[in-house]
Structure 1
Amino acid sequence: MKRPRLAAVEPLPNYQLKMTFINGSVMTVDKGEAIFAKPGLSPLRDPDAFSKVRLTNSVGWTVEWTDHDIQIGADTLWLEAMYQAAADEDTRTFLAWRLRNGLSLAEAARALGMTTRTMSSYGTGARPVPHHIALACKGWEVENR
């Protein structure tokens, strides 16, 4: 899967979303922390409102809550789910860095002087993120503030 696209989304209890991607992979993401931390998502604190999540259209790039004009991209949801499921701190650091800075694979590769293939393998868990890469992510943020 070159860029995450959703085939289906299902709301679960406790502000979780079960997502089925077009490649058949199924992931769950916990949106509770974001909903209570980000003012723009506050309408979703109502469990009834949260349960009204839908795919924006049949293409699957975005989910939305139309009653509140809130959309979240499939790539962001995929990254969040990968972050929450990461087995080690260096992988979480790398994925959180991409999320915080809104970096695509190509942008992350340019920022760290690496290939997009390497960034992809770190992001999918195919290769462990070396500690020096996690440190480079932290250093990049310091220099780019």
Structure 2
Amino acid sequence: MSDDERARAGESHKKMFAEGRAALAPYEAAGRLHFFTGETALFPEITAIPAPGHTPGHSFYRIASQGQHVLVVGDIIHAAEVQFSHPDVTADFDADPAQARATRQRTLAELAETHELIAAEHVSFPGLGHLTQNGSGYQWTAQPYQGAVTKAAE
């Protein structure tokens, strides 16, 4: 949403600003768009955590419920098969590759140590799992999918 950030963006990223603005326009028109900076409790159960480098304002979200939590890591990983083994590899999608690399390296190290449940958008279904250290990289262990089928109320 920032004209200053758009002006600093590389040519390949400038169109993303227009796309983002178009996607958010209905929320802005309805008065439902609210900006935040830094670590922010959006709701008692959801905290936004700055994760700079991918895009301006890129954030993780920690969702808590009944004493458990999951960290939604957004676009910290684009190619799991490469970046878990080589967290120093960046993608063209990163607006600030050096910052994205530093954020990824720091975050993956922390997650391997804490074994916190992770939700990762660019990781194969179900996209939920845990990390462990594997040499200079990381090993992803998917959380088994446990779907339940129930009979609909008649």
Q: Same fold (TM over 0.5)?
A: no
Bigger Cα Rg: 2
Larger relative helix fraction: 1
- Normalising by structure 2, what TM-score? 0.27
- Normalising by structure 1, what TM-score? 0.28
